[in-house]
Structure 1
Amino acid sequence: MADLMKNKTVVVTGVGVGLGVEVATAHFEEGANVVIAARSADRIEKVAAELDPTGKRVLAHVADINDDQSCAALIDAAVKRFGSVDALVQVAAFEDAWGGLFDADLDKWGKAYDTNVIGALRILRAAVPAIKAAGGGSIVLIGTQSAFKPAMPQAGYAASKGALLSTMYYLADELGPDKIRVNTVIPSWMWGPNVEMLVDYRAQKGDTTREAVLDEIAGKFPLRRIADDREVADATVFFNSDLSRAITGQHLMVNCGEMSR
């Protein structure tokens, strides 16, 4: 175990499967106390038990970023348990906003914005006073490459994440004087449970192999592969650690070179 995050407390929202779990794991392995949150108790309690059977450095707490009181209770629980909050990784998101102009469910577009932008602001409103009280720290938001490179039918999700990226620039400017940095990690394809199922489905449907499907997706990427969930999670550790102490208001694409901007 390294110690990039030693003696720091990190709150991670959206810990279900895939990226949220990997973000929590990556910070824990770098020495952090980790508070993991999601709307379901069963899943986060299982993750907490697997991550730290002693229970000394991991706290599972049910929370909904769309509810102000729930956000406040999450941060209060973190401070009560570990004494401070030094960083937040906002993973929780609503992704089910598919379709183009005429076939999209616009109510779901609204829900994507409400969760991915307004929900993010709700948890930040709760967390920022605690991070400021700790002497400053870091906030990491999760974006999507589809906000830069159209990938139908992800328009609604991408639009909400594009709005979140714009919001980040203002947050970095506003919170900088309080020594709070705000950055965004931008993944594209991420090899994890969800993409693995999709690739297997495409292989079965097309009567081909997993390797052939992966080559179709990533064969022209400079690194010739898809980044995995842990590699995206490692970028959040970088932003939360002192290695990026002079970096704020930035986005970092973790995409094996698929595109750069």
Structure 2
Amino acid sequence: MLLADRTVVVSGVGAGLGHEVAAACVREGARVVLGARTEARLSACAEAVDPDGTRSAHRTADIRDEAQCEQLAALAVERFGGIDAVVHVAALDTVMGGLQDADLTEWQRVLDVNLLGTLRMTRACLPALKEAGARGDGSVVMIGTQSSVAAPTQVRQAAYAASKGALVSAMYSLARELGPHGVRVNTVQPGWMWGPMVEGYVAWAAESEGTAPEQVRARLDARMALPRMAEDGDVAEAVAFFASARARGITGQCLLVNAGEHMR
């Protein structure tokens, strides 16, 4: 198993990618510590991925609050003795549009979650991650977006893309800073990802166009090299790899998981 005997903290657990990351980590042998703002989502995810409760713990945590980040990290140490990897799924992606008509206070809100929140959560986990690094390997896995390197045409999310682009820049600096401590820092960059978010978009687009959802889905799939869009679970598998010792020679890297829609 990729993650046997490892403890992984996952922030931003919800019905989509966060849930799939938690499930993949447990499936690969990890103990997981789950954080999100909503207790109901956390409880549902923990029950689904770890029915007997022996390999999971959770608590509500808003990554905009430094104390709550520290409490989530402390839970991992108290329950399982340390942190081997932290995966940052928590994000704000509901601010739409470009710059011209933007409310820049909304951009600040996006940056506070997607950039600064991720860094707050990373810093809270650093003492335990460095201990893991001293034992052989610690890992930080960030979730980026294809839109930070290739602006989409269907949906404009300039604030989200900019925040995730800034996070990639931070990743490079962190990889240098934490490398001497045995801690790796990498980013998984999804493109279109079949899961609750895209399912909702497809339903909305189909209603707006007066077409069947299957037609909208087929149009999206046709953009891919495979040709089918990746699923939330595909992204979660890449996350599990980066969190594992199989990636112990990899740091400061971005991996596009996008079914070949955009290549660089």
Do these two structures clear the TM 0.5 threshold for a shared fold by scoring above it? yes
**Of 160, 164, 185, which residue of structure 1 is paired with 2:163?**
160
Render the CA deviation track for 1:219-254: whole Å, top value 9, x for unaligned.
132111110000001000010111111000000000
Partner Cα distance (1:150, 1:46) in 2: 34
Matched residue pairs, number?
Answer: 259
Partner Cα distance (2:95, 2:105) in 1: 9
What 5-or-longer segments of structure 1 have no aligned partner? none
**Of 224, 230, 234, which residue of structure 2 is paired with 1:227?**
230
Partner Cα distance (1:53, 1:145) in 2: 34
Secondary structure of the residue aligned to 1:221 is coil
Structure 1 residue 205 displacement after superposition? 2.5
Provide the residue aligned with 2:179 in structure 1: 176
Provide the residue aligned with 2:139 in structure 1: 138
Q: Give the superposed CA RMSD.
A: 1.1
When structure 1 is superposed on structure 2, of 115-124 and 149-158 the one drifting more is 149-158
Partner Cα distance (1:220, 1:201) in 2: 19
Provide the residue aligned with 1:106 in structure 2: 104
When structure 1 is superposed on structure 2, of 217-226 and 184-193 the one drifting more is 217-226
1:1-261 to 2 correspondence within 5 Å? 3-134=1-132, 135=135, 136-151=137-152, 152-261=155-264
Partner Cα distance (1:153, 1:108) in 2: 15
Structure 1 residue 207 displacement after superposition? 2.3
| Contact kept? 1:11, 1:34, Cα under 8 Å | yes
| Contact kept? 1:89, 1:140, Cα under 8 Å | yes
Partner Cα distance (2:111, 2:127) in 1: 24
Partner Cα distance (1:39, 1:101) in 2: 29
Partner Cα distance (2:221, 2:45) in 1: 30
Write out the 4+ residue segments of structure 1 that deviate beyond 4 Å after TM superposition: none
What 5-or-longer segments of structure 2 have no aligned partner? none
Secondary structure of the residue aligned to 1:138 is strand
Partner Cα distance (1:220, 1:99) in 2: 22
Q: Percent identity?
A: 50
TM-score (norm 2): 0.95
| Contact kept? 1:98, 1:105, Cα under 8 Å | no
| Contact kept? 1:99, 1:105, Cα under 8 Å | no
Structure 1 residue 124 displacement after superposition? 0.8
